[in-house]
Structure 1
């Protein structure tokens, strides 16, 4: 990863913030800290959603990031005391959710991204004292060792989220990370987002991909990995997980929330998988 801000992280945060501005109630998810965290870039990034919010990429991104965040954070209510956010980017859970007071939060990302985020947090006057920032170079560092150094207890169950990341990695890099996660305590849960191959996308997913994949590649963040649900299941099982469920964007939130009169609609481009460490 290059030194400096991640455009992908900024776009995801802007989409979460824009959902509360552009879309109508009922909201899929309420990220009340994203706009503040974006700081001086907020006005520019949100202006795209304000002026062209019905564009397939913009509305599709809002649907994607809000649905996956809601599903993941609802899993935290199962009583976890440790939450590991892989590729945390500009995630804001620790700075807005009441659940963060009772959960040890470990944000894992490239050191350059974390330095940038900490500067944004300071500028936004958002308290980060309860967060452990675990800088990891996934090519060279051992994930488990780095987490333990920062206070993570590998003998206690945790929820691990890995959202909006796997599509930017090679299968080899994904497998290396899963190998570390599969050694965590029995019952540890993983919620991972993955991209579908073209043949499994629905029409909305096809249109989104037509715009988004080319744009990501041009910005230096190409999508590298695509999986069928069967391939993800096999990959996870090979690394010590039992797969509980594959979740489409439509299934990630209550069906009533998709009964809408705005531009927000589910697309089958990416899915979530919910899996548990067998131990």
Structure 2
């Protein structure tokens, strides 16, 4: 759904684009016509426009500081919950940083199949890091990263987008504790959803509709965060 929102941004919204994910449509594969046709027809519907806004602004918000960090010598980018994130395959910045895509093994296999089916070049700077946090603790993340080539003595940018709402609070705390142990200079961009009392009317309407859809798909929202844990 995030890939569909990013792809639709280039088809539905006015230019200039906020974040040009030029591979998102290809990554949708056989479902592209179905998903994007619907968004062309109903792109102005609040839930769909909100989803586009969320998908592209969070990517832009992350990739802009990554460029600044790379200019300062930071050359490691860790994506927690990478799914169909296309940064490593479309951005010139990927030539300057090593990208570590962390996700469930089954999701990683699915993505590798998508990359092969679309003929997408996998650069030598992209590393797949399969981790099943349902079977392992968050504390195993550094070991998995190091085995993939991550340098623990150098700083990184860590992005954690579209994930925390699906996790229990303790799992979020454990993951943050692990990231806090990364070398000084490491930065984290994390997305979270506000609790009902802090949402405006539009946000509440979006949350009610999308949370219901997520629950129907077997991925209910579990945690909403203020500015403190």
TM-score class, shorter = over 0.9
Does 1:106 pair with 2:96? no
Asked if structure 1 preserves the Cα contact closer than 8 Å seen for 2:166 and 2:221, the reply is yes
Matched, 1:215 2:205: no
Distance 1:28 1:203 in 2: 24
Match of 1:138 in 2: 133
Q: Does 1:18 align with 2:16?
A: no
Of structures 1 and 2, the one with the larger relative CO (CA 8 A, separation 6+) is 1
In structure 1, the residue matched to 2:30 is: 40
Cα-to-partner distance string for 1:195-240 (whole Å, 9 max, x where unaligned): 10001111211111121111111111111000111x2xxx4xxxxx
**Equivalences, count:** 221
Residue from 52, 56, 63 that aligns with 1:62: 52
Determine the C-alpha separation between the residues in 2 that align with 1:48 and 1:223.
25
Conservation of the 8 A alpha-carbon contact between 1:83 and 1:158: yes
| 1:92 aligned partner | 86
Please give the secondary structure, in 2, of the residue aligned with 1:31: coil
Gaps of at least 5 residues in structure 1 are 1-10, 236-279
Residues 138 and 173, structure 1, Cα contact 8 Å, conserved in 2:
no
Q: State the SS of the aligned residue for 2:192.
A: strand
Partner of 1:123: 117
Secondary structure of 2:93's aligned partner: helix
The answer to whether the 8 Å contact 1:85/1:161 transfers is yes
When normalised by structure 2's length, the TM-score is 0.94
Q: Please give the TM-score of this superposition, normalised by the length of structure 1.
A: 0.77
Normalized per residue, the structure richer in strand is: 1
Asked whether the equivalents of residues 156 and 186 of structure 2 are also in contact (C-alpha less than 8 Å), the reply is: yes
Compute the displacement of 1:179 (Å): 1.7
What residue number does 1:256 align with?
none
Q: Please give the alpha-carbon distance, in whole angstroms, between the structure 1 residues aligned to 2:116 and 2:25.
A: 14
Partner of 2:20: 30
Q: 1:175 aligned to 173, 176, 185, which one?
A: 173
RMSD across aligned positions (CA): 1.0
